[in-house]
Amino acid sequence: MLFAKYLHILGFIVWVGGMFFAYQCLRPVAGAVLQPPQRLTLWTGVFAKFFTWVWLAILLILASGLHMMAQLGKPPLYVSAMAGLGILMMLIFAHVFFAPFKRLKRAVAAEDWSAGGAALAQIRRIVGINLILGLLVITLGALGPVFLV
């Protein structure tokens, strides 16, 4: 169970840490110093790399989480809440990957900076929601055993 817990935490560090970095650090600087063609091209490349890691993180989180839940029998409330929010985050990510990210790539390839900006704005809003959910899941994992048994 210790190795599964390690993989679970590793997956969340990659995913939530990447969202935090992109949202709080990269986004404001890219928006301030790059014009739309460069900014949208940058984000398309960043997301292409990062989303590959998110898919891997999701596999790690799902496999390790299901393994740990199977060991618990009836999971405590905080574990069920983490699982539910985690599944919601995964569904939200899949939407981002298959809808607005696809539109962003298509817009950048066509040099349609207006459409690309709209897709990027949608991704930003959704990633902001997923980041909040991810931080909530981490809080549940850290403090849930104390408050929600």
Which domains occur in the chain, in start order?
2-147 (1.20.120)
The CA-based dihedral angle spanning residues 92, 20, 15, 75, taken in that order and rounded to the nearest 10 degrees:
-80
Tally of CB atoms within 10 A around 63: 14
The dihedral sign for the CA sequence 84, 128, 102, 56: negative
How far, in whole angstroms, is CA 109 from its chain's centroid?
24
Query: pLDDT, tens digit, for every residue of 72-103?
Result: 989 999 999 999 999 999 999 999 999 999 99
SS3 76: coil
Question: What pTM, to 2 d.p., does this model score?
Answer: 0.94
126 membership: H or E segment, kind and range: helix 113-147
